[in-house]
Structure 1
Amino acid sequence: MNEGSIDQRKIKKGLKYSLLVSVIALGLLFSLTINEETLMKIKRVNSVYLLLAIVINFLMWVVGGLRIKLISNALGEKISLKFAIKNFLVGAFISNITPFASGGGPIQVLLLHRKGLSLGKSSTVIIVQFVMRLLFFSILSPLFFFLFSDLIDPGMIPEEIFDLLIIFSLSISAIIIYFIWKPDKVKVLTERLRNLKFLQGLMKSKKANQLIDRLYQEMEDFHESLWQLTKYKKSSLLLAAFFTIIFWVLFFIIAPVILLGLGVKPYFFRSFIVQTIFYLIIPYMPTPGASGAAEFGFATLFSSFVPSSLVGLLAIVWRFLTFYLVIIFGGVILFRMIAKSVLKRTG
């Protein structure tokens, strides 16, 4: 994959679908919750808090970029904070328009590689921050779920299904972390897959073997870089973990600040707990950018302590700051990169 071969049609298709589903979901939420109180709150909204929410959002982007820069520097690679922030935004943009947020990581690796980092180091930067995200939610989510279950109300979602979603998400996270930490197990799993009759034809093809060999090499390069980090750069890893915590704290503050702007109680702690559970589950939603599931899931969880007349309005403002602004800024940066790449080839 390279900038010249990025299928812009697929990007635009994913973008259209993601935006369409999101707009429909938000429209339905707003139409179902709007009343006189909603209109009154809109008229009396405190713009200072909304401006603060925007500032927090931008600061969160900077922290996201700092984390990428820090891990890159720890691997002996120097990148600017400006590029790191661009890398973060482009990755977030692609994540928001691909199912299971699957496209964000690969394009971040691509951009880092084109900046001069080896594929192994590029992968390490992105995988390390990915693992830290998994650890953050895998540790806090069950802790909050058991200690503060009285503050978590799944709303319209049946409790049995909600509990299954949490168990499923934690299980997937644990499996991913295990294979990242023990890459040799990937080889064991691959060899077992080779022996399955219905996969033997596919696994023996030249293309499949080339992909498998490349996967092995990338995993070995990644593990070597990760080993160097854990042995010689523990302080950098701790700082990256610290920035991961700061990133999500900033992210989770946005919704309560919006509530302050709407003139209601912010519920900072409860909001933090609910969003931690929410963002453990949401990456495994199959729609691009989790559109639809994100809007309704957010509204459902917040409806237990936010006035029903404001849930739709809250979801709209929150989604604009955390989703649409990323789409705008990340999309502009990516398409400018593609345009510059095209100009270089044709020039």
Structure 2
Amino acid sequence: MNNMKKWLIISLFISIISIIGVMFYTLDPQTLESIRNIRLEFLLLALCLHLLSYLLWGLRTRSMCKFLGFDVSIPRAVEIVTSSTFLASVTPSSIGGEPLRVHLLGQENVPVGSATAVVLGERLLDGVLILVSAPIALHLFRGVISISGLNTLVVMGELLLSLTFLIVIYAVWHPHHTKKAFNYVIHRVAVITGKADSSRLERLTDKLDMVIDDFHSSMAFFVTKGRKGLFFGSVYTILFWIVEFAMVPVILMGLNQPPAIVISFAAQVLLMILLVLPITPGSSGIAELGATSLFSLFVPVYLIGIVVVAWRAFTLYLNLIVGGFVSFKILKDTEYLKDLMK
């Protein structure tokens, strides 16, 4: 629990310091006037959009489980994905949310391998959509990204997404090699820690082999007989990101600015690539500074700080509040969370 608190404090500290810095350099009398004239109904709409994204995410998880032959109710699926947003917000690349979703799907009688296939399948669908959209976004920002100094980070993010995609494809295509690689790593760690002769080691490797086989079967099913699950997962993925990206145009309308839908969507695609980089917990600092650089291309300077604060309030702070509440109060799964963060 202490480790969880540490990551939470670090994430919030970096985020708050970054926001203070952005506000310091962009605050002027026009900013205060815009705040006085803000249209709260649009901020409420942005809040509703983010809450709707939880539902779409849950529907995606449910549909992919359903076509693997496992029935997860809509409310439970929404609880599972919502609870994972807390850990995702305090771990680099949001990676902490995936193990928790696998664990909670396991409580719904979804085998670990199948649950892993669903969770990684969702991550891959997100990655594919962002990778496909990235060339269009880069075209819209041609000649600008190099000036802002984000081009190197964008390329690194794309490479990391592509590498992850290739590794998962290889793991699915060659499960035997994947098992050998994992077993080698586990045995090396066991030798270093002096537990190479432990009976638990053999049980662990046997269980891991079963999980990999199950994962392979589930992913193979998705691309053969379970293509409907992949199709509906793709539809929900597109809807999810449209709703998430729509928050920035709505925030702009709340500040009495043009929504700039196309360019704001393109900026957020590039921003999502930056957030893939495992640099800080919850991508704090990277998100605020990256958003400041990209949003400055279509948002007046005196409003950049307000837009970034509002956007981050929904994408980080709301996730911490809602995800934390669901994890600790509704799911009552604190013991697992403690173990996960050790």
Quickly name the TM-score band, shorter chain normalised.
0.7 to 0.9
Deviation per CA, 1:292-344: give whole Å up to 9, x if none.
Answer: 111111111111221111111100000001111111011011112564777xx
Q: 2:294 pairs with 297, 301, 315, which one?
A: 301
Q: Does 2:241 match 1:252? A: no
Residue 153 of structure 1 aligns with which residue? 145
CA 1:76–1:338: 2 relative to 1, 3 Å: closer
Once the two structures are overlaid, the 10-residue window that deviates more, 119-128 or 313-322, is: 119-128
2:223 aligned counterpart, secondary structure: helix
Aligned AA (2:274): I
Partner Cα separation in structure 2 for residue 233 and residue 201 of structure 1: 41
Residue 56 of structure 2 aligns with which residue? 63
Aligned AA (1:289): G
Aligned residue pair count: 331
Aligned 8 A contact 2:31 2:303 in 1: yes
1:255-274 to 2 correspondences below 5 Å: 255-274=248-267
Partner Cα separation in structure 2 for residue 11 and residue 75 of structure 1: 33
Shift of 1:178: 2.8
Partner Cα separation in structure 2 for residue 268 and residue 34 of structure 1: 24
Partner Cα separation in structure 1 for residue 275 and residue 107 of structure 2: 30
Q: Does 2:134 match 1:141? A: yes
Aligned AA (2:247): I
Shift of 1:173: 3.5
Deviation per CA, 1:277-306: give whole Å up to 9, x if none.
Answer: 211231223211101111111111111221
What 5-or-longer segments of structure 2 have no aligned partner?
336-342
Residue 6 of structure 2 aligns with which residue? 13
Under a length normalisation based on structure 1, what TM-score does the superposition of the two structures give?
0.86
Residue 97 of structure 1 aligns with which residue? 90
Partner Cα separation in structure 1 for residue 241 and residue 273 of structure 2: 12
Q: Does 2:125 match 1:132? A: yes
Aligned 8 A contact 1:169 1:281 in 2: no
Partner Cα separation in structure 1 for residue 123 and residue 158 of structure 2: 20
Deviation per CA, 1:94-121: give whole Å up to 9, x if none.
Answer: 1111123221100111111122221122
Aligned 8 A contact 1:19 1:291 in 2: yes
2:90 aligned counterpart, secondary structure: coil
Residue 173 of structure 2 aligns with which residue? 182
2:217 aligned counterpart, secondary structure: helix
CA 1:151–1:61: 2 relative to 1, 3 Å: farther
Q: Does 2:44 match 1:41? A: no
Under a length normalisation based on structure 2, what TM-score does the superposition of the two structures give?
0.87
Aligned AA (2:163): I
1:73-112 to 2 correspondences below 5 Å: 73-112=66-105
Deviation per CA, 1:195-243: give whole Å up to 9, x if none.
Answer: 9xx9895499357766554433212101112222332222221011000
What is the aligned-residue RMSD (CA, Å)? 2.7
CA 1:313–1:73: 2 relative to 1, 3 Å: same
Partner Cα separation in structure 2 for residue 315 and residue 164 of structure 1: 23
Shift of 1:154: 5.7
Residue 345 of structure 1 aligns with which residue? none
Shift of 1:170: 4.2
Aligned 8 A contact 1:44 1:262 in 2: yes
What 5-or-longer segments of structure 1 have no aligned partner?
1-7, 343-347
Deviation per CA, 1:155-196: give whole Å up to 9, x if none.
Answer: 54264x24542453344334334334324342465588799x
Aligned AA (2:84): G
Residue 219 of structure 1 aligns with which residue? 212
